[in-house]
Structure 1
């Protein structure tokens, strides 16, 4: 791919996602990371992007807008599925909770439970749980991303590896009968994958908009998940795979 074509492709990705990372782009276009950094410098000079540590965001702040929009979408469904998920968590449990708008709603519902220990990379979730004096919260350290108010990167993965949890509670970008559970953000998917690997049971939270879609980054196969919690029953292609792989579906009665 020629440089001009790659620049246009990066612009298209930014229009869709609002945010890109150097590592991700280097892998996608099969070029050196330094080449991507030069591309981003050119785009920044043209006013297309604003460089951040490890990547760039759209100069139009579309990523921030999309994140704000995510916090206002499917609110009743997120509260409904969060109430169901809370019933899976006994007092005294240890949890990994990853960053996400759905997991943040879940945190609002578990803050009344007693004697919880929570490891999270999300500063928003930590703040949500701060009012519960019997809930011990550990924020996993790493590169702070101010766009999403969460820590990302290899230091978070290293931190996860120091602990074990009873449950990993994960928000997901897509649930697909062929590709399993995935996310659009590579950093977030890697963290979710690590949390699942260090937990006895994994709980996936997914509002109905996530069914039959997939992101670019794999999080888990169906066989690695214990519970899928949603406000609606997915279609037969997904429910068949859940039943085949032993995933318990939790929806409103």
Structure 2
């Protein structure tokens, strides 16, 4: 699914307001209410927002967007982020790469690197990178999730804690206004926390839709992140939070 600019802006407005009526959306975008209803129906079918009679609201904070929808949502933005991040990874580096569609794009962008040692709990990344020349891939054990082929659980955490690597490449579901990092699955959060603890540098890859998005489980804070790679300059308050946290900001492309 490829969203047009109106649909992207509509999503951003609903996320910011929490709930917006069809009439307000139609007036904002200067289109008919029928057009807005079609947009809302499309976005709701892909679990990007919640449709209500007369309007739309943000999704629940307890459930993420379906994995296949996330793979195509913000696809161009994720590719630009991935290319910017991969450009800063040197050859012969050791990496953790966690679950997420943005981190999968980073894995694709690393195809020309040499001498990488990659540890991942993401089967998609393992399948992709195992064919790269001169790239060693270690796959964590644990409980395999059907919905996204991710490995989580205590066995995954124990495996990760055996290593100390140069870079953690992590994705996230939510960056709150105060810099709190959140996700939806506490098992996934425990794995990401272990990855961050066992890395010399923590690099976060997150497109602009992750800012101020609701998610239930606290993962950490931007103070634990050395660099944030995103596709759009954040708001001035968020830039101040990043500066106070000591997190380097990289805006791709």
> Which residue is 1:187 aligned to?
187
The correspondence of residues 82-101 of structure 1 with structure 2, limited to 5 A, is: 82-101=82-101
Shift in Å, 1:252: 2.9
What runs of 5+ residues in structure 1 fail to find an aligned partner?
1-14, 19-62
What is the alpha-carbon distance in structure 2 between the residues aligned to residue 179 and residue 132 of structure 1?
35
**Cα distance 1:216–1:65, how it changes in 2: closer, same or farther (>3 A)?**
closer
Shift in Å, 1:81: 0.4
Shift in Å, 1:162: 0.3
> Which residue is 1:69 aligned to?
69
The correspondence of residues 101-140 of structure 1 with structure 2, limited to 5 A, is: 101-140=101-140
> Which residue is 1:232 aligned to?
232
What is the alpha-carbon distance in structure 2 between the residues aligned to residue 123 and residue 167 of structure 1?
19
> Which residue is 1:248 aligned to?
248
1:111·1:128 contact (CA, 8 Å) conserved in 2? no
What is the alpha-carbon distance in structure 2 between the residues aligned to residue 231 and residue 64 of structure 1?
21
**What SS does structure 2 have at the residue aligned with 1:138?**
strand
**What SS does structure 2 have at the residue aligned with 1:219?**
strand
1:64·1:147 contact (CA, 8 Å) conserved in 2? no
What do residues 139-197 of structure 1 show as CA deviations (whole Å, max 9, x unaligned)?
00111112211211000000010001101000110111325211112111111111000
Shift in Å, 1:217: 1.4
What runs of 5+ residues in structure 2 fail to find an aligned partner?
1-43, 48-62
Root-mean-square deviation over aligned CA pairs: 2.2
What is the alpha-carbon distance in structure 2 between the residues aligned to residue 182 and residue 222 of structure 1?
11
What is the alpha-carbon distance in structure 1 between the residues aligned to residue 109 and residue 77 of structure 2?
13
> Which residue is 1:163 aligned to?
163
**Cα distance 1:195–1:65, how it changes in 2: closer, same or farther (>3 A)?**
closer
Q: Structure 2 length as normaliser, TM-score?
A: 0.73
What is the alpha-carbon distance in structure 2 between the residues aligned to residue 87 and residue 214 of structure 1?
31
What do residues 105-160 of structure 1 show as CA deviations (whole Å, max 9, x unaligned)?
11000121000000000110001112212110000011111221121100000001
> Which residue is 2:213 aligned to?
213
1:227·1:250 contact (CA, 8 Å) conserved in 2? yes
Shift in Å, 1:226: 0.2
1:111·1:131 contact (CA, 8 Å) conserved in 2? no
| Higher mean displacement: 65-74 or 148-157 | 65-74
- The number of residues matched between the two structures is 195
> Which residue is 1:23 aligned to?
none
**What SS does structure 2 have at the residue aligned with 1:71?**
helix
Q: Could you say which structure has the greater relative contact order, defined with CA pairs below 8 angstroms and 6 or more residues apart?
A: 2
1:181·1:218 contact (CA, 8 Å) conserved in 2? yes
What is the alpha-carbon distance in structure 1 between the residues aligned to residue 214 and residue 181 of structure 2?
7
